[in-house]
Structure 1
Amino acid sequence: MRLESTDKAACSQAHDSDHLVLAVINNQTQGSVVLDHRGDVVIWNNWMADWTGIAGTQAVGRNVEVLAPAITGNEYARAIKSAIELGKSVTWSLEMDPQRLDAIEAAMTRGDRLLPLTRISVVPLPVEGQQGCLLEFIEAPFNPVQLRDVAATAKSADKHVHKEAENNRFPVYLESSEVAVLSVDTSGIIREVNERLLIQTGYSYQQLIDTPVRLLFPTLSDSYDVDDYRALLASKIKQSSEGVIEAATVSGETRAFKISLFPSVSRQDLFVVLCEDVSGQSGAEDTILRQRELLATVYNQVADGIALLDGNGLIEQINPVGLAMLGKRSGQGQQMPVETIINMNDSEGRDINPCREALNRGSPCSTPESTFLLVEGKEPTHITGIATPLRDRHNQINGCVLVFRTVEESRRVSNRLSWQADHDPVTQLPNRRFLEDQLVRAIEATHTSDQVHVLLYIDLHNFSLVNDTGGRTAGDTLLRECGRLLQQVVGADHVVARIGNDEFAVLLLNCPPEEARDIAEEILAQIKSFSFPWQERRLKIGANIGAEVIDRETGSEIDVLVAAASSCANAKESGRNRLFFRQHQDERQVSGRMSQWVPKISEALEQDRFCVYYQPIVPLGNYAKEYDHYEALIRMIDESGQLVAPGKFIPAAELYGLIDDIDRWTVQHVISELGTEKWRKKSNLRISINLSGVTISNEGFKDYLLDLMDKSTVNPHQLQFEITETAAIREFDRALDLIHVLKAKGFYFSLDDFGSGLSSFGYLKDLPVDFLKIDGSFIRNMELNDVDFSMVSTINHLAHIMGIATIAECVENQTQLTMLEQMGVDYAQGFFIDVPQPMKNFMG
């Protein structure tokens, strides 16, 4: 099947796209509710169901005031009534109406959303031949830089709007102009607008006056520290095509305005912006491009199963949700007859095949009311579906699209969430969680049969170089290409998963070791010959592969992963593009290279061959520097006197139970140093020490620490302990007890690497930590990646709400540091600020 790209083809298929409308609405990242003339719900999308806790099936047909009794009689209910009866639109934004938004959210939700609403709209809308309305609830990633002075702005708007308006009125000829006009001061605040602009954007006069011009032109939102907005607008016009800039209406729609700038004749600090609406002048090619982008988004993100068939009824593609509903993996079922993959029966056991019927009749075909999807190993699922034929430019049927969904709303949502929980969002491959589940099943199969499986652990070379050279986009594209390459080599009968930043795994099911070795060597050969085109360059990568055989002697899935990772490390030591393959019978390799560190670590502990390097943690912005703060970082000294980086010996110490001894050595060393005369002179010194999960769970550590403190002159306020997010949650009860006891003595605590592990804000509420360290994986690319920026902003905001100070790790450049300061992060740490080094270098 081929999708044609002409206007004629797009128009000929328009009447077949109605069934996608509801799917698109349900997939929106904002709340959408349609009410009829009585105020009864006609549409209630998935976002609303998640936000309110009321499923769409429960909401449709019921009055909105019955669903949310707390709004009865308040101004939101009056706004809905005004939209239905008088055709009036209302919009409230976080910048102008924070109290209104909070009141509406409290009235309609359970109060468990992490992010605030930024806009609520009530818009008149024809529904079933009568006047109804559309309710919109928009929630955007929180941006504290933009919203710091929201309350002050909201309070001052009503106070000054009338006075300012009288001083900044337009001449009569501009008031009556057919061109939208607004007057803006150089700091970017709107001082006057004419009637035409209000008509074209849907805003009221009061909503725009004394508000930032970026409310109208969102493309300016990335520029906060600007002294002259006229110059900024002029530069945006020069960068755009024919002086066209995108503007946002009150309902969130995008309009294309051709902008012209002129000086104000009334005041020198103002300038006039003329806006010509050219939205309707886009060509047919832009329309088709947007339709293609929409279809691609719907296909991958909609919470329904979608199958694309060719004209012969052979499956070309099934979307991720469809694969989950059918119990299939990516690639399975392609070029197979639809009835062999999607098996449907009615309540009497008769076969149902809407796709064949749609292809034969040439018109859409729906499934009967009692239709069940039959999947091997699962109970029959009650579904509904519709098959729609697709036509080419000559009106000939060349394919079919089947959209199918479970009848129960909860199951629809569950399928999508289940797929997301088990798959990597970048490559769409299964993730580590999915792989572990498959490993458990594979191990169980070896106990009931003679099957043997093999796990390949693949570590890419030069991935970080591609990221540094081409940026995050190039890195993501490379990961997707590598995923496709692996799938092509191993086929659809085996599992390909992305389990780390640059790590993949291949689970070869029911595969003899000799065949697995051949497949692993073929993967290496393909990767070695693979070059990645990016812009004007071709980038090469490499890989190492470690293999682990799974048979009756295999323990747990964790044992398999650790052994395969160890084999991959052995392959790395042999050079690039190497394979390390071992079996249980090879006793010489069972312990692996990591075990060789055990005597080295033990000797270093006995001979006191460790040292501590320190890295500064500095305050940002106007945050007062109350003390000199450093993080203690352990280093091992080998027999030749050379430093050994922690990444080499810490994993072995954790695996073989020596990390507890290393933690105690570090604590004893830091307390001893703080007690020396040179360090005592710096009474404002505070040292952060990392504690492992093993130490947290060791009930004897508290007594050990308090005994050391009793024998020293060190003030507990000089010590801060860092525990990782994952360790704190896995050892929650013991971590909570440790924190309570030691905080009562005056020690401080920080939660390290927050966002990288289990990420539970619910646990954070119960952990009385003083600092939260935002994981460096979000900081490293925050200036390039909107998701990373939003994560840092959200974590920082929520930590401050809970009274917890924030520390940004891994700050690597001035841009990141500036963004963190503007965001309101309290402290920063990283190589851009200073590298870890002995304390004597800081004491002069």
Structure 2
Amino acid sequence: MLRKTLENNESLLSSHPLLDIWADGLLVLDANGIIVNINSTALNILGYERSEIEGHFLHSLLCGQAADYQHKKENCLFINVGKNLPKNDIVDAWFVQKNGIYLHVDVRNIAHYFSHKPSDEVSHYTVLSFQDCSTRRYSEKELQRLALFAELNPSPIIEFNEQALIYFSNPAMVELIADLGFDEQGMPGVLPDNVRFLIEQCLCNNETLKNIEVEVEGRWFLWNFHPILERSLVQAYGLDITFRKQSEALLFAEKERFLVTLDSIDDAVITVDMDEQVTYLNPKATELTGWDSSDAIGQPVKKIVNLFNADTRKPGENILQRVFAEQVPHRSAESLFLAHRDGYVISVKQSVSPMRSCDSSMIGSVIALHDVSDAIRMEQNLNYQASHDSLTGLINRAEFENRLRQSVEHCKTDKITHALFYIDLDNFKIINDTCGHMAGDQLLCQITRILEEKLRRGDILARLGGDEFGGILESCPIDRAEIIVTDLCQRIQEYTFVWEEHQFCVGASIGLVQIDEDSRDIEQLLSMADSSCYAAKDMGRNRVHVYQHDDADMIQKKGEMQWVSRINKALLEDRFVLYFQLISPIKCEEKGLHFEILLRMLDEQNNLILPGEFLPAAEHYDSVKAIDQWVVKNTFAWLHENPEITKQVTLCSINLSGHSLGDERFLHHLTENFKKYQFSANKICFEVTETAAIQNLSVASHFINTIKTLGCSFSLDDFGSGMSSFGYLKQLNIDFLKIDGLFVKDIVIDPVDAAMVKSINEVGQIMGLKTIAEYVENEDILNAISKIGVDFAQGYGIRRPEPLKNIAELLKMPSKV
């Protein structure tokens, strides 16, 4: 209609009501592209006045880039005005509004006509309509973006219609279906089993269903179902959460392991937050504190963990605050008591460590309490056992020597006099041989009671070994001491020992020595007491002898110097013989030969002399170092000369005296022999008695460490008989602990000995040492130490000592253990 109006009425080029009522913007252009008319709608859209538009080129309305683009178009509507273009062609353009904002418009050619003027000149006009397409274009782009989102999304997306038929699935979903296939109902196998119900529920209730988990062949997916009501569709969006599930499973397993570990360990574990409030207690913490977890959580930790110094009974150091301040772990150095909720106390050790979040910031602390009550009781028991004789309950030789040393110092500082006595029982060997060890032990216990009854309060009494006792009479002049000791001797003489049908008179020989400010050292005092005791025996027994300066010469005449001469001659004439005794494993799988080298001496008539006869004199007169060197040299030579046997040797143990430990010349002799005789040094283990080791602990420790650098191992012999402190053992870098045979031989019948062996073995195990039991004389003893857990056995019940040359025969025989 508009076109017909324009063609029939040229006056409409300037104004016509139809132009202003038209819903779209209208522009009338002449042949040159000049705007000759514009309707009100176009003015309102663009924001210009009529005068600002009419008479201007259409090009001036186009924004720069769009204008250039329009000129480049070959069939541009605005360049081809006047040509016969198809009606209603739409051109995408950008107009510049008066406020400078670009307006996205669709421009369409709606009319085209020719005007004839009186001058017969023909004018060409074009009517263009345009409308704002910004919203539509934005929606189209959004739809394109959404379509692209679905296409490129790595997560599966699928759409269903009302009949639960697949309407759309993106490439990720197609790939997933290819992997997992369809279920029996024809649905993708990765979807929930009730997918049809979910689709119906979404559409009926206009409800989005979220977080529906599905597990398929070890893979986990999380589905959300969203209704699209305007299209009667349901879109399902899936997310592969397999990694998250695996991480959750690993985290759960780790947490479970952590909790099971905390529930199982024997330490109390308590966690606190930054406000020092309890957040967790493991079962051991509940046991030690007396607080249930439900009652303790949220309480101040000071209320739950009440610690105080074991010595001062004052509150312990608050290392928790130190950990919070310094953010590093700390341990309590002091001995602590933990107060149980019921009122009793427990000995504990405390450590506190910071607890951190994933960003390393501190979020609290972990308090660990280790119950050391049993360990302290064991250490107290060991210290008692280390200083006391297990049979009589008296202090032992080592502790006696400590007390004697203190008495000597006391005399020098306070100018007072004490007395030392030394008792050796007469006829004890007869009772032991006639009635057995149990009778001998019973006798020793009864003699102990007699002595304790007769001594004054404050006097010291000790069992020095075997049937020997020693004592110190505090603040007692020698004449008064002689009266007291004589009374002891008479009381023992009057005592009759009864065992079954046997009756025995015992008797005692007692040596007495004065301790005063002139006394030099305990070794001299003990030697003097021993000499006096020997003199009492020599004078007829059952008497007291007060030390006289010529007693030592008398004892010397009784034979020690004779032994020294005989020993030196035997060394020159090579009249020593190497023996060995097998050491057999009990519970470990040791292969090869493990044995101890023993020594015998041949007299002038080639009769064997046991070491108990000549070694005491050798040690007393320092000939024992020469014997040690002979044993080392000849043992090394034998191992070197018998390589086939040496290959099967696991460990060869050689005894050393305490004299050799501090002798640098002996160390040199040892290293030179290792160089001379070629075999592996790790086949050698050196033994030294506990008593010898602790007499000069630093020297012994230096010697042991030096020997071990060569590759040898080390064993502490006769452990238990001279034990003076658990601390000594911790200072020696040893490998084997040889339990004193005095405890082993009666282990089956004597519960005290059994307890002692068990304690020593436990100490060895705790310190990582292998234990060896001596004096294993029969199968019963072997079974007893096996139950205790001793590692090795040695004794007549395993194999008797025999010449080293017989070892070749042993290789052909099965092991006894």
The higher relative CO (CA closer than 8 Å, separation ≥ 6) is in 1
> TM-score under structure 1 normalisation?
0.47
> TM-score under structure 2 normalisation?
0.48
Larger Rg: 2
